[in-house]
Each structure stands twice: as structure tokens, then as C-alpha cells.
């Protein structure tokens, strides 16, 4: 068990790392996304397409992906980093809070698919887009990441006030290499195993009772 202060540091490290990544991406894309506004050379159709792409990414990325899924998951899993958490989970807090480790198979698949396929795919395809569609995509990414960053801070603030998100943590019941498996009762065992266990228990009780009776008889003599 580690000190509670280190658990708080891990929570800050886990959430703060993702906030840094989001803000860094926003600052990196912001200048290029505003280029059409500086040049003022788009046609009416291009402006409509620019607005549609930006609004679409805001809805899909910012609201659907972040506000309704990733942000509450991030903060809810950060709460699970406590003093009794394994040291390796505290050290890998950014991976833990994002569901990249110590998660159900479904969550691991979704999280790693996003990191290993979708993000590299966008990084390779978006730079190939011509003007102004690359700028429109960058503008939508800036809006989506900005909304997502705000939603992470919103859920974090509510959590500090004692109102944690109701999102599922999607942590395995018994994570590997972390916690001791729960003790199984006789109801969870196979019928033959349960019967043998019961007979053994009853035999131990009878042996103890028989020994106790002999001791009392010797004492009486």
C-alpha cells in the first residue's frame, strides 16, 4: 500500500497528461485552421462546407466521443487510483485512466483501436487534403478537442465536489497481478467438490469432538 498523497499525484498525473496532449494539439492546429478567415478567399459553397465539417466534428468528436464517453470514463477511472492500487498502475496512470490497461477486453479493444488505428490514420490522411478542406478538418478538430478539454475539466470539478461521473469503470473484477481472487463459497463449487468439502469439514468436526470426549474421560478418571 502506498501513501494517499501518491495516489493523488497519480490521479493528477493521469488526467493532466491527457489535458496536456489535448491543449498541445489545439495550439498546433489552431493557426492553420484559421487561415481561411485571414485570407477570406472561399466561395459561398466552400464556406458552407467549411462550417459543416467543423460542426460535424464538434458534434461527433467533442460531444459524442468526449462529453458522452471518454471524459466521464477518464475521471471515473482516475478515482479508482487509491492507496491500495498497485504501484505499476500509479506509474502508468495516463494509460490506466484511458482504459489502455487494467480494463475489460471490450474497453481495451476500443481504447487501443482509437490510439493505434484512428489517430495514426487521421495523421496520415489529413495532411494530404487540399486547401481549404484540410483547414476545415483542423478547425473541426480544434472545436472537438476544445469541447473535450472543457468536458474533462467539468467532470473533474464535479468529482472534486463529490459528484463523480456515473460512467462504468470497466475494470476487471480481479485484475491480473493486482488483487487476491475472492474466496469461493461452496455454492460456487461443482456439486461433487462441494459434497467432498462438506464431508471433510464434518469429519474434522467429529475428530475434534472425539478428541475432546477422550480428554474429558481421562480427566474424570
Domain map (residue ranges) of the chain: 4-160, 186-220
Q: In whole angstroms, what is the distance from residue 203 CA to residue 140 CA?
A: 73
pLDDT score recorded for residue 5: 84
Strands (E), the chain: none
Q: In whole angstroms, what is the distance from residue 19 CA to residue 40 CA?
A: 32
166 dihedral zone (left: phi>0; alpha: psi -120 to 50; beta): alpha
Q: Which residues of the chain have pLDDT under 50?
A: 175-219, 221
pLDDT score recorded for residue 43: 96
Q: Is 178 helix (H, G, I), strand (E, B) or coil?
A: coil
pLDDT score recorded for residue 114: 84
pLDDT score recorded for residue 2: 59
pLDDT score recorded for residue 174: 57
Amino acid at each position: 500500500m502506498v501513501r494517499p498523497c501518491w495516489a493523488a499525484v497519480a490521479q493528477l498525473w493521469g488526467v493532466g497528461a491527457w489535458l496536456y496532449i489535448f491543449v498541445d494539439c489545439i495550439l498546433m492546429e489552431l493557426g492553420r485552421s484559421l487561415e481561411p478567415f485571414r485570407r477570406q478567399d472561399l466561395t459561398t459553397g466552400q464556406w458552407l462546407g467549411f462550417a459543416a465539417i467543423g460542426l460535424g466534428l464538434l458534434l461527433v468528436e467533442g460531444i459524442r466521443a468526449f462529453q458522452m464517453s471518454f471524459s466521464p470514463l477518464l475521471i471515473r477511472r482516475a478515482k479508482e487510483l487509491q492507496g491500495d492500487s498497485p504501484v505499476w498502475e500509479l506509474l502508468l496512470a495516463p494509460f490506466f485512466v484511458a482504459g489502455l490497461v487494467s480494463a475489460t477486453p471490450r474497453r481495451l479493444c476500443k481504447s487501443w483501436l482509437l490510439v493505434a488505428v484512428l489517430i495514426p490514420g487521421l495523421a496520415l490522411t489529413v495532411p494530404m487534403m487540399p486547401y481549404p478542406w484540410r483547414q476545415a478538418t483542423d478547425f473541426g478538430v480544434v472545436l472537438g478537442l476544445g469541447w473535450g478539454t472543457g468536458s474533462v475539466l467539468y467532470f473533474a470539478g464535479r468529482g472534486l465536489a463529490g459528484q463523480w461521473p456515473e460512467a462504468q469503470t470497466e475494470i476487471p473484477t480481479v485484475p491480473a497481478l493486482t488483487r487476491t481472487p475472492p474466496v469461493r463459497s461452496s455454492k460456487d463449487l461443482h456439486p461433487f467438490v462441494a459434497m467432498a468439502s462438506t464431508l471433510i469439514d464434518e469429519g474434522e468436526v467429529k475428530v475434534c469432538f472425539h478428541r475432546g470426549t477422550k480428554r474429558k474421560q481421562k480427566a474424570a478418571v
